[in-house]
Amino acid sequence: MFVSLLRLFGLAALVLAHSAPVYAASWTPTRPVEIVIPTATGGGVDRTARTLQRILQEQSILKVPVTAVNRPGGGGAVSLAYLNRHAGDAHVISVNTPNIIANDLNGRSTTRYTEVTPLATLFSEYTVIAVRADSPLRTGRDFADRLRKDPGSISVSTPTTLGSINHMSFALVARAAGADVKKLKPVILGSGGEGATAVLGGHVDAHAGTPSSVLRLVEAGQLRVIGVLAPKRLSGFYASTPTWTEQGFPAVMDTWRGIIGPQKMTPEQIAFWEDVLEKAVQTDAWKQELARNTWESNFLKGAATRKLFDDDHAEYRTILTDLGLKK
């Protein structure tokens, strides 16, 4: 009986040894960490990186220095190429946006969305369309009616490239209005901040971008948001702003923000960053930033983020095909 028990325990130990993942010692950074920003300064993407950088340092979540570096170009293609030149190096991570999926479909990036390492989704941020406070386009219906009659009569800043998430948001509203999306007039700028400034200066008629990219100018009474591409009204400052759907034009676009690493990261490196990023979003400082920027909490770890990528890839394929930008 005793021998049988020993054999049973030995078999159980053998099964566990073969079924459980065997990792080397936990990974931790040994030199400064770089957060890559795929846009120019200003706008929601830049703000995401610099907020994360500050919290990781001030809350002592990371014990090494953290820098945030802007590497704009090609709607994120430049930053992706830079990231993957550091294959397997978890000291270099990047803020990530849905443009990684769009660029995969429109052929603007040589780096496919499957060729990076998803680490986390941090939050959701639904696209808005904003105009100058004195614009004759007073409501979403005014905007939609003009587009339906003459799609090219409204110039709209849609950072950061043709086929970007902002361009697709503009197209979704236009399609819901019954306009010919191939005749739209998008204007490409380097960041959401630049897009908002262009509207303020009268260089374009409207801006399609994140709520945070226009928030300060809206608060100052210089810009006005005429519709939000969200499934329901946002909380906080934009609580009184109607969604496009409730104005009669069903259109929803989540411009989530997340963190990716280069290809060929190890399970230990991925686990380290998942833990660090989860700690960051649980801090009071991060929650205050969510409220301040109208970011919607939506933390996902790496595997769930990979599924999000796959789901969005299927959706964006349809939109970009309509725009004639699917490669």
pLDDT of residue 293 exceeding 80: yes
Tell me: do 203 and 280 sit in the same domain.
no
Per-residue pLDDT band for 235 (boundaries 50, 70, 90) equals: confident
Give the CATH number of the domain where residue 236 resides. Answer: 3.40.190.10
Question: Two tokens at 272?
Answer: 């380290």
pLDDT, greater one: 13 or 53 = 53
Domain span holding position 146: 128-247
- Domain end point (choices 199, 229, 247): 247
DSSP state of 303: H
Number of domains in the chain: 2
Query: Taking a C-beta distance cutoff of 8 angstroms, is the pair 258, 119 a contact?
Result: yes
Average pLDDT, the chain: 90
Give the tokens for residue 111: 């780096």
Edge-first strand order for the sheet with 155-157 is: 185-187, 155-157, 206-209, 128-132, 223-228
User: pTM of whole model > 0.85?
Assistant: no
Is residue 26 domain-resident?
A: no
Query: Domain end: 247, 276, 293, which one?
Result: 247
Question: pLDDT band for position 124 (50/70/90)?
Answer: very high
Per-residue model confidence (pLDDT) at position 205 = 98
Element (H, E) at 275: helix 267-281
Is the distance from CB of 27 to CB of 90 less than 8 angstroms? yes
One-letter amino acid of 142: D
As a whole number of angstroms, the distance between CA 257 and CA 313 comes to 16
Q: Which two tokens stand for residue 16?
A: 């566990």
Domain finish residue from 227, 247, 267: 247
Instruction: Kindly tell me if the per-residue pLDDT of 86 is higher than 80.
Output: yes
Check whether 281 has a pLDDT greater than 80: yes
Q: What is the pLDDT of residues 133-184, one digit of tens each?
A: 999 999 999 999 999 999 999 999 998 888 888 999 999 999 999 999 999 9
The Cα 64–Cα 86 span in angstroms is 18
In the numeric block, the tokens 């819901």 are attached to 176
DSSP summary character for residue 2:
H
The answer on 182 and 75 residing in a single domain is no
Region 91-105: what's the mean pLDDT?
92
pLDDT band at 131 (very low <50, low <70, confident <90, very high): very high
